[in-house]
C-alpha cells in the first residue's frame, strides 16, 4: 500500500478467495486474519499480509478489497487467479507451465527472467526455454518451469532442513519461484510458485540390537 497524499490515511483491507468459477462466492475460511487495518502517514508505503492455507488443489481467485472507513472514496477490489498444487515430493522433478501470448501482427522478442526467494541452494530450478526467444505474430509460447527438490540423505541435511523451516516460519516466508516474460521491458505475463514448507520432524536413529546366548 502507498499513500501519495499529504495527510495520514487509514485503510481497511478485506481478504478472501473463491474456487474459480462464475458466481462462486468468496470465503475467508483458513485465511487469517481476513481483515487488516493499515494507517499510512504522508508519502509512506507499507505491506499487509495474511496467511492462507488452501484446503484443495486447483484454480482459485484471491481477492483483496480496499475500503475507506470514512466513506469518502469508493471501494477498490483487486483479484488474482492462482493455481494451487501439492508440493512435489523430494527426489522427483516437477514441471509447471504457463503461456505467453503475442497478440500483435509482428514478431516479438520475449525476455524470460527467473527470480527465486528463500530457495535452498541444492534445489535445481530452471526454465525451458530460457533467456530470450522470438514469438511470431498472433502466436504463443508455452514456458516450462522445472523444479527438483533433493531428499535429505543424512542426519546433517535433516537438521539443516529443520533449521531452515524454523527460520521461514518465523519470517513468514516460503520458498518462492517467480518467472516472468517481458517485451521491451514491459511485463506481459508470468507465474509465481510458492512451496508451503512441510515441517521436518526430528530424525529417528535406530541403534543396532545385539542378542547373545546366556
**Mean pLDDT by 10-residue block, N- to C-terminus, for the chain (214 residues)?**
87 87 79 90 87 80 89 86 74 87 92 89 91 93 90 60 55 77 88 68 41 45
**H/E element, 161:** helix 155-171
Report whether CATH 3.40.190.10 matches the domain 93-194. no
> Residue 20 contacts by C-beta under 8 Å, 6 or more apart in sequence?
58, 59, 60, 61, 81
> Strands 58-67 and 76-84, how do they pair?
antiparallel
This prediction has a pTM of: 0.53
Say what the pLDDT of residue 109 is: 95
End-to-end CA distance of the chain: 76
CATH 2.60.40.2310 boundaries in the chain:
93-194
162: left (phi over 0), alpha (psi -120 to 50) or beta: alpha
Beta bridge partners of 108: 135
Look-up of cell digits 540423505: 153
Amino acid at each position: 500500500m502507498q499513500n501519495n497524499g499529504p495527510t495520514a490515511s487509514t485503510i481497511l483491507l478485506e481478504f478472501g478467495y473463491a474456487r474459480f468459477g462464475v458466481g462462486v462466492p468468496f470465503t475467508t475460511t483458513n485465511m487469517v486474519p481476513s481483515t487488516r487495518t493499515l494507517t499510512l502517514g504522508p508519502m509512506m508505503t507499507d505491506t499487509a499480509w495474511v496467511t492462507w492455507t488452501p484446503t484443495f488443489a486447483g484454480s482459485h481467485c484471491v481477492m483483496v478489497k480496499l475500503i475507506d472507513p470514512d466513506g469518502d472514496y469508493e471501494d477498490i477490489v483487486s483479484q488474482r487467479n492462482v493455481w494451487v498444487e501439492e508440493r512435489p515430493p523430494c527426489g522427483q522433478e516437477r514441471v509447471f507451465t504457463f503461456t505467453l501470448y503475442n497478440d500483435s501482427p509482428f514478431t516479438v522478442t520475449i525476455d524470460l527472467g527467473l527470480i527465486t526467494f528463500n530457495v535452498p541452494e541444492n534445489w535445481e530450478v530452471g526454465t525451458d526455454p530460457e533467456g530470450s526467444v522470438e514469438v511470431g505474430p498472433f502466436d504463443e509460447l508455452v514456458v516450462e518451469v522445472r523444479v527438483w527438490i533433493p531428499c535429505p540423505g543424512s542426519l546433517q541435511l535433516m537438521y539443516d532442513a529443520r533449521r531452515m523451516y524454523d527460520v521461514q516460519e518465523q519470517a513468514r516466508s516460503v520458498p518462492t519461484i517467480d518467472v516472468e516474460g517481458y517485451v521491451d521491458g514491459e511485463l506481459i505475463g508470468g507465474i509465481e510458485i510458492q512451496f508451503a514448507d512441510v515441517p521436518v520432524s526430528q530424525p529417528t536413529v535406530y541403534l543396532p540390537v545385539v542378542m547373545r546366548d546366556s
